[in-house]
Homo-oligomer: A and B are copies of this chain.
């Protein structure tokens, strides 16, 4: 897994501007759209059940984020996922706060059967999704990502999705292989929506992939690029308001040289 191969996905997103259909939570719609625009993708927040099914096949990828799930949104998500699957459009699941809350947890489990291409969550969320008992109290994970590595592999094998557990170290696995990324900054947890927008970036990269075989590398590339941008942004801005601005600026401008020089990636031997 070479940095140059990963950066080729960044270039592809910038050139193709994949259209990412986002059904996401109320808190992060704006930031998610700005992150997608910064990396060169085209966000589209089409939310009504009446339109979601018609729109999903027009998009290159679909993002389903459960952060502020309610019944009308659940219906729109079902319609969008069905339409995406029929059209062969890959979709990404962000199971925000799954575990302690029964309503969204049941829905997340239902969605696993609808074959997401990628699942990205924090440690608590991934442990919960794979059937374990996590200690999360909602949106913030209290578990370290290492603790979720086994759960992530099991979830990947069971769903055939690429699974990403993000935190101080990010792990990406397809069940057989595991990559660890160690970029980023603690400031990424001090701005709301950075994690949610990471899932949107994954959707954009997967939307620019040429086949299902590339979803693995596309997911690694999206998370590597975003966390490298966060790490570089933290070098110029030490507080959360200015960090959020610098992060968008870096997402729009990191080049392959800076990416290569910053990336910390290792392959993890699978037990």
CA distance A103 to B51 in the complex (A): 7
> Does the CB pair B72–A192 fall under 8 Å?
no
Kindly report how many copies of this chain are found in the complex they form together.
Answer: 3
A197 to chain B: closest CB distance in Å?
A: 11
Q: Are A240 and B248 in contact (CB under 8 A)?
A: yes
> Could you say which interface size class chain A belongs to?
35 or more
Residues of B within 8 A of A249 (CB): 239-242
Residues on B with beta carbons closer than 8 Å to the beta carbon of A49: 70
CA–CA, A253 to B241, complex, Å?
Answer: 11
Q: Bits for A53-71, please: 1 = Cβ < 8 Å to B, else 0.
A: 0110010000000011111
Name the segment of A26-34, A84-92, A214-222 touching the other chain.
A26-34
Is A139's CB under 8 angstroms from B44's CB? yes
Q: Which residues of chain B come closer than 8 Å to A27, judged between CB atoms? A: 29-30, 33, 43, 45
Nearest Cβ distance between residue A99 and chain B, in whole angstroms?
A: 11
Which residue of the partner chain B has the closest CB to A102? B54
**Which one of B68, B192, B244, B252 contacts A239 once the chains associate, using CB atoms below 8 Å?**
B252
* Complex contact A70–B72 (CB within 8 A): yes
Instruction: Pick the residue among B30, B44, B241, B247 that contacts A245 (CB under 8 A).
Output: B241
A120 CB-CB contact with B under 8 Å: no
Q: Which A240-265 residues have C-beta < 8 A from chain B?
A: 240-242, 244-249, 251-253
Other-chain contact of A33, B38, B46, B51, B192 (Cβ < 8 Å) = B192
Chain B residues with CB below 8 A from A15, complex form? none
A140 CB contact (under 8 Å) in B42, B69, B241, B245: B42
8 contacts between A and B (CB under 8 A): A26-B45, A29-B30, A42-B140, A46-B138, A48-B69, A50-B70, A239-B249, A242-B245
Extra 16 A-B pairs, beta carbons < 8 Å, given A33-B193, A44-B97: A27-B30, A27-B43, A30-B31, A42-B138, A44-B138, A45-B67, A47-B68, A48-B68, A50-B103, A54-B100, A55-B100, A55-B101, A239-B248, A240-B249, A242-B249, A244-B245
